[in-house]
Amino acid sequence: MTTTGPGRPRKQQPSRPGATARDEILDAAAELFTTQGYANTSTRAIAEAVGIRQSSLYHHFSHKDDILEVLLAGTVASGLAFARAVCAGDDGDRSPVAAAARLHAVALYDGTQLCNARWNLGVLYNLPEARSARFHSFMADRTELRGLYQRLGAELPENGWTAAGQNGDLVFRLVESLVNLRADGLNTPDSPQQAADAGIVLCGLAGSLAEVRAQSAALVARRNP
């Protein structure tokens, strides 16, 4: 048996990605929550998947809900930070193409995070537990992210496809649909781009899509070097 420090004896050498035992616990929990279900996963099962004692897991997390809280927060954090940066860095260009590019960039970045994460943690959004007051911080962040989509979408001209003021929410929902696409094994590396493109098309800017994509790519590259 090897050890990783006081109070954290291991049954085996680390086999999961992560610089710390806490990271490995999160990775194991993410796998089990998304493949076996949250209710069906015990802290004992998580500990066994990492190769530590259950008591050692409690050195890092006192309850299974604490693990879920961290995982949920991680699904929103980077997308929210990017959306905030795009909104804060608005250069004042109110042309339809520039406005659409900002929305497209947020959708593309957010969708890429959801599709490229090691585990499909977006499926946890549908858990009844995720709606409880225990996870109010996650819900507040998700609500803020949705609000930023709506703010960006409101800058687009009205069109015959969407009701007034609904552009951003439509794109937000398209991005979140990638979670189900991935759960069904139907996502591809192009799925985030396709979802962002579809949003812009449904917002009535199909004729400007190539220009929107070019400006969006520049925004993503600038905000995410």
> Does 51 share its domain with 138?
no
> Does 108 share its domain with 202?
yes
- Confidence (pTM): 0.89
> Does 84 share its domain with 195?
yes
Predicted local distance difference test score (pLDDT) of residue 11: 47
Q: Over the chain, what is the mean pLDDT?
A: 89
* Cα 124 to Cα 100: distance, rounded to the nearest angstrom: 29
Predicted local distance difference test score (pLDDT) of residue 23: 94
pLDDT per residue as tens digits for the range 168-224: 999 999 999 999 999 999 999 999 999 999 999 999 999 999 999 999 999 999 876
Helix, strand, coil proportions of the chain in percent (round to 5)? 65, 0, 30
3-state secondary structure of 166: coil
Predicted local distance difference test score (pLDDT) of residue 19: 67
**Are 51 and 10 contacting, i.e. CB atoms less than 8 angstroms apart?**
yes
57 has pLDDT over 70: yes
Domain count, the chain: 2
> Does 46 share its domain with 100?
no
Q: How far is CA 168 from the centre of its chain?
A: 17
Predicted local distance difference test score (pLDDT) of residue 6: 40
Query: 163 pLDDT band (50/70/90 cuts)?
Result: low
Indicate which CATH number applies to the domain containing 38: 1.10.10.60
Q: Does 150 or 10 have the greater pLDDT score?
A: 150
Predicted local distance difference test score (pLDDT) of residue 8: 45
What percent of the chain lies above the pLDDT cut of 90?
A: 78
Residue 49's nearest CA partner among 37, 32, 62, 61 is 32
pLDDT per residue as tens digits for the range 86-107: 999 877 788 999 999 999 999 9
Predicted local distance difference test score (pLDDT) of residue 5: 41
Q: How far is CA 27 from the centre of its chain?
A: 15
> Does 53 share its domain with 84?
no
